[in-house]
Structure 1
């Protein structure tokens, strides 16, 4: 990839960042009314399409289990600094809290059955009026929905965590939420990711990154690799998610957006 390509990607990446929720988001007072104060102090929380209300009022069991998991969620500076990608210790923390309670990885698949009902003229009556019959034709589109996956589903609630993937992963998640909602499988989705500017600055302050073995990490040129370089502007963080939420990429699915902040770091 040329330097011009790198500069172009960085420019596009900067344009696709939102500094806060847009007009599509629910008012802040709704989040304050439905989300516990201790979680609002620990995370950035935004609601779209009344997600906070639907989750708290219509699905109290799932709501309480998610709240408990988020309260227990604690990470360390070492976790943030250590290489590991999607298999890092951070996503495993929520898995340990939710899997035993019945939050399962779920894939949706389905065929589309379409009926075309027509009124067809088959002749003429004695009085000269057309004689018609109703005829039905069925079209079946197999695998109309196939492969949309959500990492955690329980009842009619979907939940996912994106700590440090490519930001296009958000499009996949939101499309999956929308597909689940349109088919009546879920009522609401919850998406957790790294928080916004405060969390970004905190990560940059952590200095040099670590290998999986816990040793200081260096680039191929022998230069110390800084933690901030692992968590770039084109990875999954709140600015990239809010940009998509403000643009309505969640479709008709209500989504509660939660950002991990430095308040989750215990050391």
Structure 2
């Protein structure tokens, strides 16, 4: 399962027998994910222009999933006493696959949110699984090599386009704040322009407190979301093309 993703360097992890659940009960859904993800390609220019928000490549992945049936769904879990509603909870998931057997798989893409969003997703999955609403939860986030390689990606982009001053980055969509501009100038005196831009941009927009593989692992180590079966997928640095 997911051999093509492994071959491309994707991080993969499974919890609470999730791999067996997908392999035996939902092989078609697993094939859909494996087909959609290799098409993920994010030009470095989109990454920089996103300003830390969701890159267009991630939006394309969302669209590709929606087209094949992984659509947003709102679950309403209601408690009744003698037929009268007494309590209800609502859980919205960005991508849900309804299987022919009537079961649900839930998927969230956490490309670049604040890392507490992992707690929200995992607790939602836990509650939905406990209530029998979903069979498995899936999270896609930046993989190890992508997170670790962001500074190098920015440096290569700057070199590729012979950028030597901040004004040349504006057409690409990066307009640093006065604080960021001053930080870049101070660092450039010591480390050079490309390193300074890469350090400030990545620290401010894709820092350690955002959603990426290591932050997800921290939650799992603490047992967040347990015992919901989970599939975790981390795209590698290779999905970013330095154009």
So what's the TM-score if we normalise by structure 2? Answer: 0.77
Higher fraction of helix: 2
Q: State how far apart, in whole Å, the 2-side matches of 1:193 and 1:68 are.
A: 17
Show the counterpart of 2:93: 150
Q: 2:41 corresponds to which residue?
A: 74
Retained in 2: the 8 A contact 1:194–1:236?
Answer: yes
Q: CA contact under 8 A between 2:118 and 2:211: conserved in structure 1?
A: yes
Tell me how far 1:45 sits from its aligned partner.
0.5
Which is richer in strand? 1
Residues 1:113 and 2:80 are matched in the alignment: yes
Helix, strand or coil at the partner of 2:94 = strand
Given the alignment of the two structures, is residue 236 of structure 1 paired with residue 211 of structure 2, yes or no? Answer: yes
Report what 1:265 is aligned to.
240
Q: Normalising to structure 1: TM-score of the pair?
A: 0.70
Equivalence for 1:204: 151
DSSP-derived class of the 1:153 partner: strand
Kept after mapping to 1: 8 A contact 2:106/2:136? yes
Paired residues of 2:52 and 2:206 also in contact (CA < 8 A): no
Unmatched 5+ stretches in structure 1: 1-33, 115-136
**Number of equivalences:** 208
Do the aligned residues in 1 keep the contact of 2:54 with 2:111 (CA within 8 Å)?
Answer: no
Structure 1 residues 97 and 170: CA distance shift in structure 2, 3 A: same
* C-alpha distance in structure 2 between counterparts of 1:44 and 1:101, whole Å: 23
State yes or no: 1:193 paired with 2:141.
Answer: yes
Distance 1:50 1:187 in 2: 11
Inter-partner Cα distance in structure 1 for 2:128 and 2:175: 41
SS of the residue corresponding to residue 42 of structure 2 reads coil
RMSD: 2.4
Could you say which residue in structure 2 is the equivalent of 1:227? 201
2:130 aligns with 182
Unaligned runs of at least 5 residues, structure 2: 99-103, 159-165, 185-196
| Cα 1:92–1:81 shift into 2, 3 Å | same
Structure showing greater radius of gyration is 1
Distance 1:104 1:254 in 2: 20
Q: Distance in 2 between matches of 1:49 and 1:212?
A: 47
* Cα distance in 2, alignment partners of residues 257 and 55 from structure 1: 13
Tell me, yes or no, if the aligned pair for 1:48 and 1:254 is still in contact at 8 Å.
Answer: yes
**Structure 1 match to 2:21:** 54
The Cα shift of 1:150 comes to 1.0
